[in-house]
Amino acid sequence: LLYWAQQMERTSVPPIHNVAICGGTHGNELTGVYIVREMQKQKMEKAGSVSVTTVETNPRAVAAGRRYTEMDLNRCFTDVLLSSPITESTPYEVRRAQELNAQLGPKGSAEAVDLLIDLHNTTSNMGLCLILLVIDSLYYTKIIENNLSSVPVRAIQLDIPSSKAYSLESVGKHGFAIEVGPQPNGVLRADIFNVVKEALDLTLQWLQKFSSGHSFEGGTVEAYTFVKSVDYPRDSAGKATAVIHQNLQDNDFKLLRSGDPIFQTFSGDILKYEGEDLYPFFVNECAYYEKKIAFHLAQRKTYSFPPISVKND
């Protein structure tokens, strides 16, 4: 596959003139908050010819130390919510989404920022993941993966068509989230901060090289494609009756097969997985209890991408 990728025809890609780096979309995911603040303190506004904008996207949630104040900001970027009229009762996060869309978008227009990177943390043991809405940003995974040895680097593809995209990075012409864990909500770990800073530095360095005409060789990247979610078993009152089994806990991206334990009930019974071989991720993510998700399951595929260089304007 690699051979064929490198034989694929060299592709010209439009230049990236501007990048937005966002943190605090969930106010208790602290790495992004402090990365953005440090970049602002260092006046990181340019990387070569690429202009850099940094934004703390949900300052009220950050101040409160909460994921959100009224509604999850990272679900507010649908076309419907972005165009809904603002009234007295409009949740803060919907207003904020519209402000961000005006600042960094508008989504789908020529004025939108070329690349939007949104920084997140998870309580799950996922290492560093790039969460892509579409496959086009796969080469960023490769850049980071090739150069970062301290944590596993993976790509997750959610396969959401642009018309249905609800998260912040869909505002940019291109965009992805960098999701790093495990880190508890409200905790800032130096090792994770350092890894994310390094990943961003690699990305910005690459963008500078790319913009100045350097070409990037083709290659292959493995990506995990979302298939479905699994909820906790619940009682008639809707309360979870089990905890993630210790064999699954912290084993994100380890292949799950039929018969593998996934839950342990409070009375000690073990519940097993039934289904096709799939890869679990977001195992025991705190914020997903209310979304009725114990873990997601994905297929893993290898994608190839051609050699690319910047299209001269």
Alpha-carbon separation of residue 62 from 7, 27, 28, 71, 185 (angstroms):
47, 4, 6, 14, 11
CA angle 195, 197, 202 (to 5 degrees): 95
Closer residue to another protein (CB): 9 or 43: 43
Q: Residue 137 CB: number of other CB atoms within 10 A? A: 19
Q: How far is the CB of 132 from another protein (least distance, A)?
A: 26
Q: Cβ closer to another protein: 227 or 293?
A: 293
- Phi-psi domain of 241 (left: phi exceeds 0; alpha: psi -120 through 50; beta: other): alpha
d(CA 148, CA 199): 7
Provide, rounded to whole angstroms, the least separation between the CB of residue 241 and another protein: 10
Min dist. Cβ of residue 26 to another protein (A) = 13
Is-catalytic flag, 9? no
284: left (phi over 0), alpha (psi -120 to 50) or beta: left
* Distance from C-alpha of 223 to C-alpha of 74, rounded to nearest angstrom: 22
Smallest gap from Cβ 95 to another protein, in A, equals 23
Q: Is 120 annotated as a binding residue?
A: yes
29 among the known binding-site residues? Answer: yes
88 is in an annotated binding site: no
In the chain, which ranges are continuous DSSP H helix? Answer: 2-7, 30-41, 59-64, 79-82, 92-104, 138-147, 190-211
Smallest separation (angstroms) from another protein to the CB of 121: 10
C-alpha pair distances (Å), 128 with each of 121, 196, 219:
9, 8, 20
Taking the complex as a whole, the smallest distance from the CB of residue 255 to another protein amounts, in Å, to 20
The active-site residue, picked from 93, 145, 179, 285, is 179
Q: Is the Cβ of residue 127 or residue 182 nearer to another protein in the bound state? A: 182
Nearest to another protein of 243, 308 (CB atom)? 243
DSSP 291: T
- Tell me the residue type at 235: D
Which residues make up the interface to another protein (CB under 8 A)? 34, 37-38, 41-42, 65, 123, 182-191, 193-194, 243-246, 249, 264, 266, 284, 286-287, 289
From first CA to last CA, the distance across the chain in angstroms is 32
For 107, counting Cβ atoms within 10 Å of its Cβ (0-12 exposed, 13-18 middle, 19+ buried), the class is buried
SS3 content of the chain, % helix, strand, coil (to 5): 30, 30, 45
- Asked if residue 4 lies in contact with residue 38, where contact means CB atoms within 8 angstroms, the answer is no
Cβ proximity to another protein, 58 vs 264, nearer residue: 264
Q: Which is nearer to another protein, 8 or 270 (CB)?
A: 270
Please give the annotated binding residues for Zn(2+), written as ranges.
Answer: 26, 29, 120
Show which residues are catalytic: 179
